[in-house]
Amino acid sequence: MGNSEESFEVIDSSGKVIGTAPRSVLHGNPALLHRVVHVLLFDQQGSLLLQKRSSYKDTAPGMWDTSVGGHVNIGENIHAAALREMKEELGIRGTDLRYLYQYRFTDQKESELVSTFCCTYEGAIRFDTREIDEVRYWAVRDIENMLGSSIFSSHFEEEMSRYLRHSKNP
């Protein structure tokens, strides 16, 4: 892979930057916390857009996942990262994002400090076919009924559980 591998900031539990590390190191060591953003994109009827991850992805290939998600680049703030990821993944620009909450996600491979935003959007979606196999709006009730059925990434299962609790007690 050479020098082309992306690096991201390593942070402490308070969010302070303490160093940088390549993606492969961050995705192989849950002791290293790094920042990511998620965007929950809803239509006017309240349905949530999900992306089906490319079958070539190293994490959760072929699984349904959060509308938008990605790493925060070195020196980037979370709002700018969310807007950049919207453009890169779905071809969406100029959308007003609303900050919802932040939480720590840890599994056997990695630890992320996740900042979640939401928005309502009705325009065209031009998704990156190298990253995403399909996008589709889902009724929130249908998502709730399918949680735990192994069609969603573990990241999305956690995100949706948090969103449902948050939306009932904002």
Segment holding 20, helix H or strand E: strand 17-22
Write down the pTM of the prediction.
0.93
Query: Under DSSP, is residue 102 helix (H, G, I), strand (E, B) or coil?
Result: strand
Helix (H) or strand (E) holding 10: strand 7-11
Q: Find, among 73, 55, 71, 75, the residue nearest to 63 by Cα.
A: 55
Q: Residue holding tokens 């400090």? A: 113
Which tens digit of pLDDT belongs to each residue from 92-137? Answer: 998 999 999 999 999 999 999 999 999 999 999 999 898 899 999 9
Query: What pLDDT digit, counting tens, does each position of 53-84 carry?
Result: 999 888 889 999 999 999 999 999 999 999 99
Q: Which pLDDT score, from 0 to 100, does residue 159 have?
A: 96
DSSP letters, 38-64, are: EEEEE-TTS-EEEEEE-TT-SSSTT-E
3-state secondary structure of 154: helix
Query: Which pLDDT score, from 0 to 100, does residue 84 have?
Result: 97
Domain spans, the chain = 2-168
pLDDT at 2: 46
User: Which whole number is the average pLDDT over 11-17?
Assistant: 93
> Which residues are within 8 A (CB) of 29 and not within 5 positions of it... i.e. 6 or more apart?
110
CA distance 103 to 10: 16
Q: Is the sign of the CA dihedral 160, 164, 167, 170 positive or negative?
A: negative
pLDDT digits (tens, 9 = 90+) for 31-52: 999 999 999 999 999 999 999 9
pLDDT band at 169 (very low <50, low <70, confident <90, very high): confident
Q: Which class is 2-168 in CATH?
A: alpha beta
pLDDT at 1: 43
